[in-house]
Amino acid sequence: MSLFLVLEERGGHIERVSWEALAAAHRLAPAEEIAAIVIGAETEMLAAEAAQKPVGKVVRLEHPLLAPYTADGFLLALEQLVRRDEPRYVVLPHTYQVRDYAPALACRMGQVLIGDVTGIEDGAVFIRQLLQGRLNGSYRHHGDGPCFVSVQAGAFRADALDADANVKPAPIEIFRPALKPAQIRTRPSEPFRESAQTVDLGSAQRIVSVGRGIKAAENLPLIAALAQALDAELAASRPICDNGWLPLERQVGSSGHTVAPRLYLAVGISGAIQHLVGMKGSACIVAINKDPDAPIFEVADYGIVGDLFEVVPALTEAVKAG
Amino acid sequence: MKIVVAIKQVPNRDAPVRIAAGGKWIGEADLEWAMNEPDAHALEEALQLKEQHGGEVIVVSAGPERVAATIREALAKGADRGVHIVCDDLGARDALGVAGLLAAAIRNENPDLVLTGLQSEDLGLGQTGVILAELLGLPHATLILRVEKTEAGLKVKRELEEGWFQSIEMPLPALLTMQSGGNKLRYATLMGIKRAKTKELRVVNAAELGENAAPVAILDRISAPKKQKKTQILSGLPKEVAAALVEKLKAEARVL
């Protein structure tokens, strides 16, 4: 097998972003050369799910110390498997978990992860974003060691895979890494949420979302008035919630909610990648920003380049009048 | 507690971005520079830990001469001393190359805790801290919002996706990469700025650190992103664009 695809589990299933990583992996190797890796203390169900997909085989990387996730455990386990099989590529979904251990795993192999990849061109050339999405960078991997690549959520289409689904499930093998309790240096708790949710952004039909451009909390009523006129939910990018101007439950982006309303109106949001992944599935996107080069305009259907403090009140009036 | 904070100087968030001749990086001539914001949160956390538990805060940064201004800013906010790894080829190094420099400069300090931001605002690799932990042989945790000292070491609050969190307990020494939003950044006081001028800022030449491995991940070329959608830009006076947009949302997009 020349390519390892590391799958990630959440709530007992393989995450969608892992299948997007598989779609990316198909750009680098034929399906029969891809080994899908499932990791945990009990991986039988995950392996059965993975075996249905267009992969050459599935490897169950299994050990009691691999649940819950720890960086030390995953790193040590994957290192042993990578050293045994020496794949040409190791492809992973770019999740918080992968960001936590994959750079160290690559480092241990004398390699560097090419992270958060949004495109793969022949060569292989890996595209990733720079300067908060304002530019793209084309990266190449040099040297003989395995090339580690993590794939951004939403950048590759996972739905095309099902057409190639295996007629016969892929073979499954099990690999039990050598791990000792003393090698795991961190002790994670169960995940928890901070407070009860009072808004459901996920099911909102219209969202008005505000970013750094609003400058001060005192200016928020301006945006709230527009949201009210549009009968929309009010949301925000990360800096607004970091400042405590709006509660965390209204945050859209990789660390907040993923939304796909019919109308998403972004006000004073530059459109850093962490925000875009949370909203680019919206049916109609409107952006109001003073910077004509702001990346938010790359995903917008309608754009207004201008001062939000002038445009937003005018828009509120126009909506009310219309 | 002896705390090392690794910080990066990055182009100011609102700085104009122009692709330089050669197409490998942006023109830096008329850029303004700032402390990478996640690193500023790492510094703030270090200063608060020092206020609670005593100890020393040392800032380390790699880059050309201009980086000294960002280190001075950290000293003005309350860091005790700085280490400047003078390096004119930072952009030619990959994440392992940069982390190697930082590790070589930090190792002899034997810190109890190393803090850095979760990612930089320019390259956005989000790897330097994790690689640094690996090179220094330290346990690490990423995307940390809160740090609490315990008898056994640390208890930290880690951000997960979609509004979830978890606590992680770990021994010291350790390395953490800090997420924004966990603390409020302080401003440097006039007194702080004055004091910063007398604080130690040690200069180390990158060449002396012997970290010259050839990069593995190479940035070949930068380019303007391709548009994912055809955007209709509406222009005119605020009143006119507002009316035009409402009309489009009704008639074309049919979302009103």
Is residue B216 one of the residues assigned to a domain? Answer: no
pLDDT of B250:
94
My answer on whether B186 and B234 are in the same domain is: no
Q: Nearest C-alpha of chain A: how many angstroms from B157? A: 10
Q: Where are the alpha helices (DSSP H) in chain B?
A: 37-53, 67-77, 95-107, 128-136, 190-196, 238-251
pLDDT, tens digit (0-9, with 9 covering 90-100), for B86-95: 999 898 899 9
Residue B52: CB atoms within 10 Å: 12
Please state, for a pLDDT cut of 70, what percent of chain B lies above it: 100
pLDDT attached to residue A273: 85
pLDDT at B65 over 80: yes
Residues of B within 8 A of A314 (CB-CB) are 238-239, 241-242
Q: Which positions 162-181 of B are in contact with A (Cβ < 8 Å)?
A: 162-171, 179-181
Q: Please check whether residue B222 lies inside any domain of the structure.
A: no
CA distances from B19 to A120, A127, A136, B147, B224 (A): 22, 16, 11, 40, 8
Least confident of A24-33, A240-249, B123-132: A240-249
How close, in Å, is residue B199 to chain A by CA atoms? 31
* Mean of all residue pLDDT scores within chain B: 94
Average pLDDT over every residue of A48-72: 97
Domain boundaries along the sequence of chain A:
3-183, 201-321
B214 touches chain A (CB under 8 A): yes
Record: contact B126-A131, CB cut-off 8 A: no
For domain A201-321, the CATH superfamily is: TPP-binding domain (3.40.50.1220)
List b or e across A36-45, with b for residues whose CB sees 16 or more CB atoms inside 10 angstroms: bbbbbeebee
Same domain for B166 and B45? yes
| Cα dihedral B190/B193/B197/B201 (nearest 10) | 160
Instruction: Please tell me the predicted confidence (pLDDT) of residue A290.
Output: 95
Tokens of A77: 């386990």
Reduced to 3 states (helix: H, G, I; strand: E, B; else coil), residue B82 is strand
Domain A3-183 identical in fold to domain A201-321: yes
What pLDDT shows up at residue B128?
Answer: 97
User: Distance (Å) from the C-alpha of residue B48 to the closest C-alpha of chain A?
Assistant: 18
Kindly tell me if the per-residue pLDDT of A164 is higher than 70.
Answer: no
Q: Which helix (H) or strand (E) holds B158?
A: strand B154-159
Q: Indicate the residue of B220, B223, B239 with minimum beta-carbon distance to A139.
A: B220
Task: Answer yes or no: do B216 and A110 touch at CB < 8 A.
Answer: yes
- Return d(Cα B162, Cα A249) in angstroms, integer: 9
Mean per-residue pLDDT over chain A, rounded: 94
User: Which pLDDT band holds residue B135 (cuts at 50, 70, 90)?
Assistant: very high
Option in B166, B181, B225 nearest A298 (CB): B225
What's the pLDDT band for B115 if we cut at 50, 70, 90? very high
| CA gap A191, A197 in Å, rounded | 16
Q: What is the mean pLDDT of residues B155-164?
A: 91
Q: pLDDT band at residue A256, thresholds of 50, 70 and 90?
A: confident
The answer on B240 and B158 residing in a single domain is no
User: Which residues sit opposite A264 in a β-bridge?
Assistant: A207, A285
Rounded distance between C-alpha atoms, residue A47 and residue A109, angstroms = 26
Name the residue in chain A with its Cα closest to that of B241: A304
Q: What is the mean pLDDT of residues B217-243?
A: 91
pLDDT (0 to 100) of residue A79: 98
Chain A interface includes B95 (CB < 8 A): yes
Section B45-61 average pLDDT: 98
Is the four-CA dihedral B122, B123, B124, B130 of positive or negative sign? negative
Which domain covers residue B106, as residue numbers? 2-209
Q: pLDDT by residue (tens digit) across A108-131?
A: 999 999 999 999 999 999 999 999
SS3 A314: helix
Give a yes or no: residue B219 inside a domain.
no
Find the closest chain A residue to B219 by CA distance: A139
| CA angle (B104, B107, B111) in 5-degree steps | 140
Of A43-47, A271-275, B148-152, the one with minimum mean pLDDT is: A271-275
C-beta of residue B76 within 8 angstroms of C-beta of residue B150: no
* Closest chain B C-alpha to A193 CA, distance in angstroms: 5
- Domain match, B245 and B186 both: no
- Which pLDDT does position A165 carry in this prediction? 65
Say how many domains are in chain B: 2
Confidence tier at A289 by pLDDT (50, 70, 90): very high
Residue B106 shares a structural domain with residue B177: yes
Give the mean pLDDT of A18-41.
96
Q: How far is A178 from chain B (nearest CA, A)?
A: 19
Mean pLDDT of B22-33: 90
Q: What is the pLDDT of residue A163?
A: 66
Per CB-CB distance under 8 Å, the chain B contacts of A241 are 181
Tell me the count of A-B CB pairs closer than 8 A: 256
Whether residues B129 and B233 share a domain: the answer is no
Average pLDDT over residues B222-244: 90
B36: nearest CA in chain A? A131
Superfamily of domain A3-183: HUPs (3.40.50.620)
pLDDT of residue B62: 98
Q: Which residues in A lie closer than 8 A to residue B238 (C-beta atoms)?
A: 306-307, 310-311, 313-314
Q: What is the CATH number of the domain that holds B148?
A: 3.40.50.620
Distance from CA of A39 to the nearest CA of B (A): 19
pLDDT value of position A268: 97
Inter-chain touch A257–B162, beta carbons under 8 Å:
yes
The whole-number pLDDT of residue B80 equals 98
B191 touches A: beta carbon within 8 Å? no
User: At a CB cut-off of 8 Å and minimum separation 6, what does B206 contact?
Assistant: B62, B85, B86, B87, B89, B101
- Determine whether B101 is exposed, middle or buried from the number of CB atoms within 10 Å of its CB (0-12, 13-18, 19+): buried
- What global pTM score does this model have? 0.91
pLDDT > 70 fraction of chain A, expressed in percent and rounded: 98
Is there a single domain that holds both residue B16 and residue B82? yes
Considering A206-220, A237-251, B225-239, the range whose residues carry the highest mean pLDDT is: A206-220
Give domain status of residue B176, yes or no.
yes
Residue from the list B180, B214, B231 with its beta carbon closest to the beta carbon of A301: B231
| Same domain, residue pair B55 and B180 | yes
223-242 in B: which are within 8 Å (CB) of A? Answer: 223-235, 238-239, 241-242
pLDDT score of A86: 96
